[in-house]
Amino acid sequence: MSVAFAGSSTTSPSREAGPLRVMIVDDSVVIRGLISRWVGAEHDMEVAASLRTGLEAVNQIERINPDVAVLDIEMPELDGISALPQLLAKKRDLVIIMASTLTRRNAEISFKALSLGAADYIPKPESTREASAADIFHHDLIQKIRHLGARLRRKAAVASPPLAPASPTPAARGPVARPAAPAPAAHAASSVSLVTRPFSTQAPKVLLIGSSTGGPQALMSLVTELGPVIDRVPVLITQHMPPTFTTILAEHLARSSRKPASEAVDGEPVKPGRIYLAPGGRHMRVVRSGADVAISLDDGAAVNFCKPAVDPLFTSAIDIWHGAILSVILTGMGSDGMRGAKDIVAAGGSVIAQDEASSVVWGMPGAAANAGICSAILPLNQIGSKVNRLFAGDRS
């Protein structure tokens, strides 16, 4: 494990090629030790600091100069939600991942943290002695640090391109050092024109949405524009999120959309005028129930390392609505939703993906875009109006 307290400028351009510097802030010595070992074992990360309170983090942020902070919510002296704006005031590009146990209070605080500038959240297991819970926490945390940190560096590289090397003077001796070749872009396809396909000629009868990292903010923004669609057809959403958090998200979606929104209940009928959100820890599918369509929830194995996962919802919808489906894939890590979206397109439906620039992580939408199955790849602020037009009869 590498632990570094190098005192470097927060604007140093040389950091791009080095490992991601991670600051761990948690009053639990056990959690600090676990995360420090996990981070230290990764080739592209290092522990910049391991601190007990938010006050220590605020006081030392400029000296430590981390790329990513894993910030506990409940701490003495200065808790995470109070430390968050102070940390961002001192280092505005700091990636902050909030960590909390699964309680309703902490879920509410995590959502508030997202609105204050936190990049993401992660639930801590109630007991690290339970191997499966610790393994999930380990996997998810490392992936979030890596992907969110990489996005920070891509943005920094675009904002501050490397300076051209100075011409050697006549007095210069020895070979002139050549600048290192730029690293390949993480999403090479985003720099070229991605192939899109025509929208389906069938009128959509349902709207399906899948999202992950960055999804809560994106969803709350999107549903504010979807009133006419929600009145006309059911809207089903799978967001990668644990229990309790989905309960809170459903309440936020109801307030943002001013439409009924709730966690889906096994066996309940699927009707227009409502938003159905997959509950944390269970896959959501749709099934025939006599002449009606109903929700089917299951506690099966994770799909694409996720539960709930987007693919089960997307593929199950084909048996009900065939090609009369419009699916939207929003920001998120991984490729969940891409296979289900392929099946939707093969059945005659359509797919819209969020573009890279407006995504927190362009994993899920990027996978769909690069697969050539999307009919549009749009910024988040253009998706709502496009969806409304498609449900109003536009087929272009």
Residue holding tokens 């920001």? 331
Distances in Å between the Cα of 212 and the Cα atoms of 136, 172, 183, 273, 347 are: 16, 53, 27, 24, 25
Does 336 participate in catalysis according to the annotation? Answer: yes
Considering 147, 240, 252, 283, which one is annotated as catalytic? 240
In whole angstroms, give the CA distance from residue 208 to residue 296. Answer: 15
Catalytic-residue membership of 319: no
Q: Which of 212, 316, 358, 375 is catalytic?
A: 212
Q: Tell me how crowded residue 76 is: count the other CB atoms within 10 A of its CB.
A: 10
- Residue 359 among the catalytic residues: no
List active site positions. Answer: 212, 240, 336
